[in-house]
Every structure is written in structure tokens, then in C-alpha cells.
A and B are shown apart, each in its own frame.
Chain A
């Protein structure tokens, strides 16, 4: 087939131009995504930064903007995280151990696995409905911080299980066989060999799931977190509020002053989440380098 060299050169040039255009388009999309992140954070810092001071962190909510603070919300979130950690971490890690070390590749664990991945896709508000019906009503916990914590624990359980399984899987099989060769039983091997080397990876997953629980709002509204409360919980059965709930309350008021307050609250929430993630990333790096070395 004869093709005029000028024509083929033109086609080549055009397709190279399209190539450059396409590449630029993809790059622009990517950097736009990142620009939006900066826009979002910039907007919030711009509106909320002036409201940040010690008084904001140590005061109870108030009708008066200048006196309103986050004390109840911070303490409520701390209580919630404590309950989530107490409940979801042991159960989640034990479930992960079972799936990785004990019940591998059976029909039962296939079923468990499918079930866990389906649970991870259930909208968080549905967990709120579950908590409302089971913890708040059937078990008569009422609008207590315990009911809220347990609801969030169920919500993050799949996340903890999945990440703990990955950490356990990353422990080289040789460690296990060496332990068995020394006469250790299955549980001794799991407890003294596998878990210690998987620990940083497990912790990373735990922290990331706690930071997910920390930002959840919808399920807490369902199980009755209070939007206005001037006390901190003294027992698991007390009423409570939480950081995202307080932010939601302020953001949904029509007055602009309260919206600025919401922005200040968001800064506090984001700083806490950022610190938690920084710890998680630090642990992950150590975990990876230990596995390599």
C-alpha cells in the first residue's frame, strides 16, 4: 500500500498532539482533585481560625457565640473512642486471627469473608438504625454514650478485621513453621510469634478505623447523641454529644456566627484526625521496614 509520506507524517503529528492533550487532561484532573482539597481546608481555616482559643476548647456549648465551646463534644468523642477501642479492637483482631490462621479456605470462612465485605458497604446510617433498634430500644441503653460507642464499634468492625488480616498475612510463613518446629502449639505460635510481628500493622488499622469512627455523624444522630448538653459523661450510661454532632448543630443554624463556630470545630476535628493518621503512617513505615529488614 502506498501512503503519501506527507499524509502519514501529518497523521503522526496529529496523534502526538492528541497524546499530549490527553496526558495534560489527565494531569489537570489529578491536580484539580488536590486543589479542591486545599480549597476546602483553606476555606475552613479562613472562617474558623479566629474562633480558636483555649476558651473554645474548655467551654460548654452556649446560646452565646462568644462563650460557646467544645468541652462536652471533645469529652464525648473521647468516651466514644474508648468504648469503640475496648469493644471493636479485641473482637476485630480475634476475628482476623480466626480467618487468617484457623479457618483458612473453608466454606465457612468464605461465607464469613463475603459477609464482612458486604458489611463494609452498608451505609453508616443503616448502622445507626441497627443501634437504635437493638442498643437504644431493645437493650434499654437509651441515649447513652455506651449505645453510641457500640454502634460505632459495629460500624468499624469490618475495617479493623480487613486491616488486621492484611497485617497478619504479611508475617512470613517461615516464622510459623519455625515455631511449630520448636513444638509450640497453634495458639502459642499465634500469640507469641505471629501477633507481635503483626502488631504495628494491626495498630495502623486500628487507628485508621478509630479516625473513621471519630468523624461519623449520621449513626450518632440516630442513636440520640444530644446536640445541646452542658455536661461531660461520668458513666457509660450518661448522655453525650460528639465533635461531629456539635459541628452539625452549629453548621445547620442560620446565623453566620454559628457557622464560623462550626468551622472552628471542624479545624479541631481535622487536626485530631490528622494527628491520628500521622501516627498510623509512622507505624506503617516502621512495620514495612521491619518486615523487609
Chain B
């Protein structure tokens, strides 16, 4: 600010110019913030608009209830359930790995660990969270799968179990840190009340603190599982590319994300129904993860109200 401008009284030309500049700056900043809305609108427009081209040739009913997914070879069949089933299996395995261990880490960090232990543990968890998913895929293929094959010889090279385990490792830090946040926001007075009644610390943790933080913990679980749904590289590398409805985690399957990668890597001609499957499958994926995220936010907000007195 120059000395000159401070001397000018209100209504002088330089103050007026300043006001115009301020107005202009505020509008530009607002436009930057608005870009995120355009991004959302763009995603919705692309997914719905291009899927429309797909649903012109395939009925939504066939798409959503069909149990055979063979869009890339004859006889073509467009039932998305095998992809959804494959993805769900990965998510279930990842959940079995990550939710109990992640919650235990959260409990350890919030109830037991000393400040020094926390200082050591948290950066490691952050590193684990920052490792690119392609690295987890490599780890699944070259380490987890061979170990599984040694334990259970009929394990296929590409299998849902190995991919599910590494996806579980991948979402573990997220479960741990979000549930730690939830546990820590439980008022200390509740714990002290428990101790005053003669409860030991595991009784306090499991029957007072965890139930009191249950909405935060469930929202953490949902967010982490929603990430597992959208995970791409680890499942593309390790889970295989055989879309099928199966309950056997040792078989090769295909997830929605892995299918999207497969189509976009191939030379599918633009404008064909095979090309538009990309968008239809992505729409299903987006619908699932979006509703999970909304649900997590709702639950989270409800739990905030309880303790914000």
C-alpha cells in the first residue's frame, strides 16, 4: 500500500479504483472455488451422458441383473453383476483385514500409547498411507500370492484373496487414524466415570469409549471401504481379468475398476457399445462410492452434535 492511497479521502478516484479491483479479485477467487463445482458437474455429465449411449443398446434391466459379463467377445453379454460381485469380494476381504486391525490400532493410539510411541508410530502409518497403489499391486503379485500358493496350493496366480489382503493393508492407515480421531473425541469424563466404577482399562475401552465413538468409527469404516471399492491398480495387477460370480477367493476375478483399465488399454474403437461400457461401469462405481461417502458424512455429522456442548 502506498502512502498516497491512505491520504485520499473516500470517493477519490484511487479509492474507487481500489474498490473495483477488490470486487474483481473477489469474483476471480470465487470462480476458482467454483471450479470444484464444475468438476463435479463434469463428472456427472460425462458419466450420465455417455452411459446414455450405452443404454440405448443395452437395457438397464439386463445390465443391472445379468449374470454374464462378456462385452469384448461374442456372444456379447452385458450383465454387470460379475464385476460388482468381484469388487464386493475384494472389499469384504479388505474389510476383514483392515477393520479389526485398524480399530485396534486406533484404540492403542488413543487409549494406551505414550506420546513417544505415538510419535514413532504415526509417521510410519503415514508412510504406509502414502505408498502408491501400484506398489501394493506389485507386492501382492510378487509376495502375497506366492506365500498363499505355498500355504494353499490350489491358489491361482491371479486371485481375489491376495488382492483383497493388500487392499486391506492399503486402507489400514485410514481406518486407524480416523477411528483414533473418533475415540479421542470421547470426553475424558466418560472414561473417568468408568474407572470410578472399578472398570479396568479394556472394559472402559470396549464398553464405554468404543460405543460412545461408534458413529465416528462406523463413518471411518464406510469411508475406508468406499476407498477399497474404487481401488484400481492393486486389483488390476493381482486379482485377474476373469469376470465371474464366485465365492471362492482363490480364483481369478475381475473388478469394475480392473475392467475399466482393461478396456481403456485395448484398442476399442470410440463410439462402439464396448467403448461405452467404460462409462456405464464407471457410473455404477461412482454411484456406490458416492452413496457410501454421503452416508459416512451423515453419520459423522450426527456424532458431532452429540459432544459439541
Query: Which of A's residues lie within 8 Å of B, judged by CB?
Result: 15-16, 18-19, 22-23, 25-27, 29-30, 32-34, 36-37, 39-40, 43-44, 47, 90-92, 94-95, 97-99, 102-103, 109, 111-112, 114-119, 121-130, 132-134, 137, 154, 157-158, 161, 182-188, 192, 211-212, 214-218, 221-222, 224, 244, 247-248, 251-252, 259, 262-263, 266, 269-270, 273, 277
Contact = CB atoms under 8 A, between A and B. Distances in A.
SS class, residues of chain B in contact with chain A = helix
A269 B132 contact: yes
SS class, residues of chain A in contact with chain B = helix
A122 B201 contact: no
Contact of A103 (B33, B205, B286): B33
Interface string B1-37: 1000010000000000010011001101110111111
A112 B37 contact: yes
- The size class of the interface chain B forms with chain A is 35 or more
B138 A125 contact: no
Nearest to A129: B282
20 contacts: A40-B135, A43-B139, A91-B32, A98-B32, A98-B33, A103-B30, A112-B37, A125-B230, A126-B47, A130-B42, A133-B46, A161-B36, A183-B1, A186-B22, A187-B22, A218-B233, A247-B138, A248-B237, A266-B134, A277-B127
B203 A30 contact: no
Contact of A19 (B137, B201, B270): B201
B131 A211 contact: no
Contact of A29 (B50, B104, B261): B104
Interface stretch (B54-62, B88-96, B168-176, B184-192): B168-176
Given A95-B29, A218-B257, A273-B130, A115 B1 contact: no
A218 B121 CA distance: 30
Interface of B: 1, 6, 18, 21-22, 25-26, 28-30, 32-37, 39-40, 42-43, 46-47, 50, 100-101, 104-105, 107-109, 111-113, 121, 124-125, 127-128, 130-139, 141-143, 169, 172-173, 176, 200-203, 205-206, 223, 226-227, 229-233, 236-237, 257, 260-261, 264-265, 270, 278-279, 282, 285-286, 289-290, 293-294, 297
A122 B286 CA distance: 7
Nearest to A18: B202
Contacts of B128: 33-34, 36-37
B28 A94 contact: yes
A134 B139 CA distance: 34
A27 B265 CA distance: 44
A281 B246 CA distance: 45
B232 A123 contact: yes
Contact of A124 (B18, B35, B226, B230): B230
B134 A248 contact: yes
Top 5 A-B pairs, shortest CB-CB distance = A123-B230, A215-B132, A94-B32, A26-B108, A22-B202
Contact of B233 (A97, A183, A217, A224): A217
B232 A40 contact: no
Contacts of B286: 122-123, 126
Contacts of B233: 217-218, 244, 248
A119 B33 contact: no
Contact of A215 (B134, B138, B223): B134
Contacts of A211: 130
Contact of A130 (B6, B30, B43, B130): B43
Q: Which of B50, B125, B201, B233 has the most CB of A within 10 A?
A: B233
Contacts of A26: 104-105, 107-108, 111-112
Contacts of B260: 125, 128-129, 222
Contact of A217 (B112, B113, B132, B139): B132
Given A123-B285, A157-B39, A22 B205 contact: yes
A163 B119 CA distance: 21
Q: Which of A40, A47, A247 has the most CB of B within 10 A?
A: A40
Contacts of A92: 32
B108 A251 contact: no
B108 A126 contact: no
A263 B134 CA distance: 11
A13 to B, nearest CB: 11
A244 B132 contact: yes
Nearest to A161: B36
Given A19-B201, A34-B121, A218-B233, A270 B172 contact: no
Contacts of A263: 138, 142
Nearest to A218: B232
